[in-house]
Amino acid sequence: MPVSRLFIEEIIRECRKKRVTKVDVLGFEFEMGLFPNILDEARENGIDVAPKYIPRDVFDKRAVERNQVVFHDVAFIEVRPHFKDNAVAVQLTDFSVFYSQDSVTHAEATLNNNRSKIVVENGQIIKMRKGRDGSCYTEQLTKTWKDWIDYWSVDSNFESKREIVRVQNPNTGNWEEQWTGDYIFENEWQSFRTRNDRSLELMSVYHECVPGQRKIAVKVVDIFGNDTMTIVDLNVGGKN
């Protein structure tokens, strides 16, 4: 199961109780839209939460014995807003990933002659090939950060729709609606790759906004299907 908001909130409460100021949260998957809101809430409580992905290498006995298992930080998005009167567009400027699945050194040692293998090491996808004579050749498949992105989208008014859940009151047994403290991401613009068109737009269209403070959310889905989101505070019609 993905690491959820409720799970991290419980960690924050435990940290406050025991006066812990930094904690790593390890997970194979994290709930969609969890970051960065929950990290900001933790910082407001004086706690530095560092979410990290558990690599599949933990199931590889040889990788464990060789100390090759690395827990990598959750991906990071950088964006730049552009303004035209009261309209806002978002430019995607960077997407940093730190995934690793296997390693070049391990692949060289275990790959049979005349065979090939895909390795993900330190945020790069590398094709390994071993010739008939045992010689190894490598080809880096991810040339830039853009190659990691399969899909990205923008919500130009992120706090417009609260996330409401139904929970059972332990005292009355009645089901009641409660706000989780988070918001629902609404896809207002997107750019994605298709099988026939591998191009990707890195600049959204301009979206007319009501003047004043607002939060714009940007979500990126990478080629492995992992979801990452960032939120930008803007003052439409004012200085940013």
Tens of pLDDT along 110-154? 888 988 988 887 788 899 999 988 888 999 988 899 999 999 999
Residue 93 lies in a domain: yes
In a domain, 28, yes or no: no
Quick one: average pLDDT of 69-74? 76
Whether 37 maps to a domain, the answer reads no
Structural domain includes residue 68: yes
CB 130: neighbour CB atoms within 10 A? 19
Closest to 38 measured CA to CA, from 28, 29, 27, 25: 25
Q: Establish how many alpha carbons lie within 13 A of residue 221's alpha carbon, considering only the half-sphere containing its beta carbon.
A: 12
Query: Does residue 155 fall inside a structural domain?
Result: yes
Confidence class for position 191, pLDDT limits 50, 70, 90: very high
Task: Give dist(CA 240, CA 236) in Å, integer.
Answer: 8
Highest mean pLDDT among 54-58, 66-70, 120-124, 182-186: 182-186
Q: Looking at the domain assignment, is residue 18 inside a domain? A: no
The helix (H) or strand (E) run that includes residue 11 is helix 5-18
Q: How confident is the model at residue 192 (pLDDT cuts 50, 70, 90)?
A: very high
pLDDT tens-digit profile of 17-40? 999 999 999 988 887 667 767 888
Residue 66: per-residue pLDDT: 81
Q: Is there a contact between 17 and 43 (Cβ–Cβ < 8 Å)?
A: no
Q: Which among 195, 99, 196 is positioned nearest to 145, based on CA atoms?
A: 99
Strand order in the sheet with 136-140: 115-121, 124-130, 136-140
Domain that holds residue 87: 55-236
Helical H segments across 104-222, by residue range: 104-110
Q: Which helix (DSSP H) or strand (DSSP E) does residue 5 occupy?
A: helix 5-18
pLDDT level of residue 67 (50, 70, 90 thresholds): confident
Residue 223 lies in a domain: yes
Amino acid at 35: F
Total domains in the fold of the chain: 1
Does residue 134 fall inside a structural domain? Answer: yes
In sequence order, what are the beta bridge partners of 162?
183
